[in-house]
Structure 1
């Protein structure tokens, strides 16, 4: 099972070609991918909105249906990880750096710079900023991750198939998934994972660099970011070497502790009463408006289509491109749970954490903006640190944020090397260290090259483009999963 597959060599070749083209012709690469991204957003926006809404509906149906009693593994298996550790792993792999990066900046942007439905700077825009942040990072995202992970976990642990995306489609295509078609699907999944994680590493390096510059005057630029990525690469490779039950488990628990400490301090020293009131009202608004927001396509002139493309469609495509990576990782750590436990945990708990996070940081940033401190003048990666400047315990908050980003950075890269190793060794649950190290070095190298040529935007475009063909694979995964679950339920009833 640990033999390296064709997926490894094909994907490495494609990554080298894409990165080389981006490095040699950065302007052309960004222009081409940007044009394709615009075409996808304009022509397929309605499709993304319907697809993500379908994930939510299907998740609720699966959790409440008789399928919920089916265990992801043998009938007598117990979960591999405790519930707190499991939730920490879900959270670290699924969001990580992004929450720290956008926690204060996204609600503030919707409030002050670009409101989707109200006059910027108004009270309604303040509330909308939070509700749309919940919407972009909440139920829809985790429903999509949950369904992807459920399909992988069911076929891997219940039906004893290899842990590959292609394996989930065998109810529809049978043995064809063992041939070139299956290889193509797995290559697409690995390709999306490499570039998705590399972009996240780039974000992390930029924000750590910004934080260190803000605190200690360290130079902002490629040299500093190179040293940051090189240092973190050593750390996450050591973690990857130690294995899933040690490295990622301990890192995920560390992430949650650091995140809770940062959250509690900001809640305590920030506008506490306002945060509690804003969370209560905006969470209600989120639930109240979720159907309207889920199907919004802005079809007419004056409907602010530009905002929809720049934010919601961008996020939906971004999350879909991350589905192979996050889905495989969540599946791997969820063995032994029933489908109802699994879907409830993946769908509900991370969403609540996300909403609380944005309420605390977004409300604090908005209140500070109202008090006369213009946070919108700073780049996205610096909003958080400049917000901390205006609060008590500035140094402690900033250092905690940098440590949290670094910890999330290591966890994301570590879990990605594990997933990439699985996908390129025929679904092995214990991929060889040399394969994980190869993928770890590849991810860091891609991130460095992109930072060097200024190509983060171009690679984000590439991810969004790659999400479209993979979204069709996800539809097939839902159909195949439903067919397999129905057959499994009949088998269970037959045994009784």
Structure 2
């Protein structure tokens, strides 16, 4: 533990205090976290929508600007991983359980129970539902990850800075980032990561429990979810001990393999032509209405505004809370790529895969609902299994889905232990195993406490609360990157001009 910094001890203390609060006074924990979440949703909903839209525009600008040619690394650096492995690793870390959890639940819910704007159960509600699902899992989500990952990769691999959030702000604040202010920023980033990942682990445990309930009739109970978390904790800690190149790489590729089998199977046995036609139609609808959807807050419609708070603001907060973890992880595996190549890959490829996935499972769920299966009345964690039950090979598909949830569960937690270890050992690319073990246990403890205090509602409350302070740091990171890039480009132009002058002189 010699490598650990004060960030480790401070954040660990905060995590333990939050855990004890949740265990000793669960009702009080649930009430206060709910009140904070409500306050943030009401007063900062506009802020989340505007901020994430700005991140999208910033990423697009960086792709087309001259900055896009700058490499995330030294001039001679080559990418550490092939495209296929790179995509598998960033996708497994960046989305994972969320796609499986909400793949059928969100589209069906938006169609029949909570349509954004259209009348429930109508054809227009289907289009509304699928477009909204694309919106929540598309370029906006990946722009949040891309911003953090880009800033970290740039400063780490091009300027040899420690892989810390605070280190990326040195162009703005200088040596202050090595003192108490910098430590505070790193503590906020680490705690947001813990809550973000713990929330996802909670969703994963709930859905595995939901699979047992639907398939085996085992009632949804907290102790079952606790056992699931404990078993998966042991598995992801074993994976974490093998290191990035082995455990996480192999698990990421395994994730993509299982996901591909499940996706192709559902595409074939589901309403294939309906799925393909809906994908094309929704893609066009999504692109066409993206500007309006990005900033829609509905100030004159209380019901519609509440829907935006419950869904869009929740998703943006989820992605922001995950951004320190996913951003650091994506940065770690992206050395050697240009800014243009990096942003194009991170924004477009995972978004397209998400669209295909959500269309396949969402449309299958909607078709099952139209055919008489009441998927909408099932809890979110059981919706996917309810859809499988309407098609051939239901048991096989359900088992595959639970395997996929488990591997995504393990990969997310595995990656997070590495990232948290890195953030609390001054950016070490090989954090001590004892540090990773401490963070692995902490993540699982917070997930268990949040499930104990209020189930999925408590998870959502904690997520939105943890995301807000880190969103302010993300704004500073964008300004810091832009300032550093301007200086970098100026120096490159001067070198180019000197080289040109020398050739003319010769």
Q: Deviations over 1:212-252 (max 9, x none)?
A: 23223444312222221121111111110000011100110
What is aligned with 1:154?
154
Cα distance change on mapping 1:21 and 1:66 into 2, 3 Å: same
What is aligned with 1:118?
118
Distance 1:144 1:170 in 2: 21
Q: Deviations over 1:82-120 (max 9, x none)?
A: 110100111111110010000000011110001111100
Report 1:2-41 matches (<5 A): 3-41=3-41
What is aligned with 1:426?
426
| The 10-residue stretch of structure 1 (484-493 or 160-169) with the greater mean CA deviation from structure 2 | 484-493
Deviation at 1:463, TM superposition (A): 2.3
> Scaled by the length of structure 1, what TM-score is found?
0.98
Q: Deviations over 1:435-480 (max 9, x none)?
A: 1111111111222233334354234312212222211111110000
Matched, 1:109 2:116: no
- Residue 102 of structure 2 contacts residue 380 of structure 2 at CA under 8 Å; is this kept in 1? yes
Give the count of matched residue pairs.
Answer: 496
What is aligned with 1:216?
216
- Residue 195 of structure 2 contacts residue 466 of structure 2 at CA under 8 Å; is this kept in 1? no
Distance 2:446 2:469 in 1: 22
Deviation at 1:360, TM superposition (A): 0.4
- Residue 30 of structure 2 contacts residue 453 of structure 2 at CA under 8 Å; is this kept in 1? no
Distance 1:212 1:7 in 2: 39
Matched, 1:495 2:495: yes
Cα distance change on mapping 1:453 and 1:313 into 2, 3 Å: closer
Deviation at 1:30, TM superposition (A): 1.5
Matched residue of 1:362: which SS?
A: helix
Matched residue of 1:413: which SS?
A: helix
Report 1:362-381 matches (<5 A): 362-381=362-381
What is aligned with 2:291?
291
Matched residue of 1:454: which SS?
A: helix
Distance 1:125 1:179 in 2: 53
Deviation at 1:18, TM superposition (A): 1.2
| The 10-residue stretch of structure 1 (448-457 or 417-426) with the greater mean CA deviation from structure 2 | 448-457
- Residue 139 of structure 2 contacts residue 347 of structure 2 at CA under 8 Å; is this kept in 1? yes
Distance 1:208 1:324 in 2: 26
What is aligned with 2:501?
none
Distance 1:488 1:259 in 2: 41
Matched residue of 1:79: which SS?
A: coil
Q: Deviations over 1:379-415 (max 9, x none)?
A: 1011111111110111211111000000000000000
Superposed CA RMSD in Å reads 1.3
> Scaled by the length of structure 2, what TM-score is found?
0.96
What is aligned with 1:476?
476
Q: Deviations over 1:105-146 (max 9, x none)?
A: 001111000111110000010111111011011110101110
Matched residue of 1:164: which SS?
A: coil
Distance 1:196 1:159 in 2: 29
Deviation at 1:4, TM superposition (A): 0.2
What is aligned with 1:200?
200
- Residue 153 of structure 1 contacts residue 335 of structure 1 at CA under 8 Å; is this kept in 2? yes
Deviation at 1:2, TM superposition (A): 6.8
Deviation at 1:296, TM superposition (A): 0.6
Q: Deviations over 1:417-442 (max 9, x none)?
A: 00000000000011111111111111
Distance 1:196 1:443 in 2: 9
What is aligned with 1:413?
413
What is aligned with 1:329?
329
Q: Deviations over 1:152-187 (max 9, x none)?
A: 000011000000000110000000000000000000
Cα distance change on mapping 1:303 and 1:386 into 2, 3 Å: closer
What is aligned with 2:352?
352
- Residue 186 of structure 1 contacts residue 423 of structure 1 at CA under 8 Å; is this kept in 2? yes
Q: Which runs of 5+ in 1 are unaligned?
A: none
Distance 2:352 2:287 in 1: 12
Deviation at 1:15, TM superposition (A): 0.8
- Residue 23 of structure 1 contacts residue 450 of structure 1 at CA under 8 Å; is this kept in 2? no
What is aligned with 1:385?
385
Cα distance change on mapping 1:326 and 1:289 into 2, 3 Å: same
- Residue 30 of structure 1 contacts residue 455 of structure 1 at CA under 8 Å; is this kept in 2? no
